[in-house]
A = this chain, B = another copy of it.
Amino acid sequence: MSLLDFKSNQFQKKLKSKQQLVDKALHFFLKKQDYVPVKLHRSMEYSIFSGGKRLRPILCLAVAETIQLQESIALRLACALELIHTYSLIHDDLPALDDDDFRRGRRTNHVVFGEALAILSGDALLTLAFQILADYKHYPSAYQKNIPAILYELAKQAGYTGMVGGQVEDILSEHVKPSFQKVINIHRGKTGALFLASVRIPAILKGKTSPILKSLTLFGEKSGLAFQIIDDILNEVGNVKIIGKKTGSDLKKGKLTFPKVIGIERSREKVKQLTQEAIQALEPLGEKTAFLKTLALYMANRSF
């Protein structure tokens, strides 16, 4: 693969093949169970298979490639991460929160299944993520001892000290005075925490410690923040066809965003800078980082 060329056929092909792998694995983990109400299963499936880019799972697979963790094992972690991400979107879209009727060009879960099902499907996906991760029979014996640590990591990053905390900060910050530190805090929790989990969990399972874990943590922090700034920019100036929902919705809600605090141009510069720093952070990891680095560039160059 031509290193760092995210437009290359080779990278795009690899990305596509990983997405397909993740989708297949998600189908496996979400298979219908006789004793689960059909409507609940349909609602969970609806949101899981709604055109997500699978960025968190692919980040996880790319780290697995870098540290040589078997892909079949990494896919389990990858799916758990996507389940957490999906639940957070379902709850985030609810009328009581962001009140979004569309996501990725499709009607949101509560519009199709009603609010009650949307809340409970989110709860079910969140819980299923932990169930999949804790399903110890499917890990090689060498990794058994690290399973509690990956569960702890996921819970910490997804919970009140991570993603949920960030979502609450986000809600509470509507229409408050813009501050650089505040918007960083929100983004660190809302998006950053799950990015961190995505790159750290495969390494923790493999038993990696510092300096490798430290490099990956830095990479996750930088690329996660860059990703969220792009989201902010796209929300303000993006093409509705690309982002699948109305632009300007953050502004209308009085959300605290990067463009609001430092303007569009400086936000774009910040994305570039963070992406470079993310890629540099991977230097100690050696040669097998090409896909992971290119992924960071790819994420930094979403349409704007």
Please give the residue numbers on chain A whose beta carbons come within 8 Å of chain B beta carbons, in ascending order: 33, 35-37, 39-41, 44, 87, 91, 94, 96-97, 114-117, 119-120, 122-124, 126-128, 130-131, 133-136, 144-145, 147-149, 151-152, 154-156, 158-161, 164-165, 167-169, 171-172, 185
- Whether the Cβ atoms of A160 and B36 lie closer than 8 Å is yes
- Whether the Cβ atoms of A160 and B128 lie closer than 8 Å is yes
Interface centre among A33, A91, A122, A152 (most CB of B within 10 A): A152
Q: Which residues of B contact A87 (CB under 8 A)?
A: 123
- Whether the Cβ atoms of B124 and A148 lie closer than 8 Å is no
- Whether the Cβ atoms of A169 and B96 lie closer than 8 Å is no
A158 to B124, CA, bound (A): 8
Q: Which residues of B contact A149 (CB under 8 A)?
A: 134, 136
- Whether the Cβ atoms of B40 and A160 lie closer than 8 Å is yes
Q: Which residues of B contact A161 (CB under 8 A)?
A: 33, 35-36
A164 to B35, CA, bound (A): 12
- Whether the Cβ atoms of A164 and B134 lie closer than 8 Å is no
Q: Which residues of B contact A126 (CB under 8 A)?
A: 123, 126-127
Contact pick for A152, options B36, B131, B158, CB 8 Å: B131
Q: Which residues of B contact A172 (CB under 8 A)?
A: 37, 39
- Whether the Cβ atoms of A124 and B164 lie closer than 8 Å is yes
Nearest to A88 among chain B residues (CB) is: B123
Q: A127-B126, A160-B127 known; A135 and B152 CB under 8 Å?
A: yes
* Stoichiometry (number of copies): 2
- Whether the Cβ atoms of B124 and A152 lie closer than 8 Å is no
Q: Tell me the minimal C-beta distance from A142 to chain B in angstroms.
A: 13
- Whether the Cβ atoms of A39 and B168 lie closer than 8 Å is yes
Could you write out 8 A-B pairs with CB less than 8 Å apart? A35-B165, A36-B165, A41-B160, A87-B123, A91-B120, A91-B123, A97-B119, A145-B145
- Whether the Cβ atoms of B136 and A155 lie closer than 8 Å is no
Q: Which residues of B contact A117 (CB under 8 A)?
A: 168, 171
Q: Which residues of B contact A127 (CB under 8 A)?
A: 126, 155, 158-160, 164
A127 to B44, CA, bound (A): 18
Q: Tell me the minimal C-beta distance from A188 to chain B in angstroms.
A: 9
- Whether the Cβ atoms of B148 and A134 lie closer than 8 Å is yes
Contact pick for A169, options B37, B115, B123, B171, CB 8 Å: B37
Interface centre among A114, A115, A127, A171 (most CB of B within 10 A): A127
Contact pick for A151, options B130, B156, B169, CB 8 Å: B130
A148 to B39, CA, bound (A): 30
Q: Which residues of B contact A156 (CB under 8 A)?
A: 131
Interface centre among A156, A161, A168, A171 (most CB of B within 10 A): A168
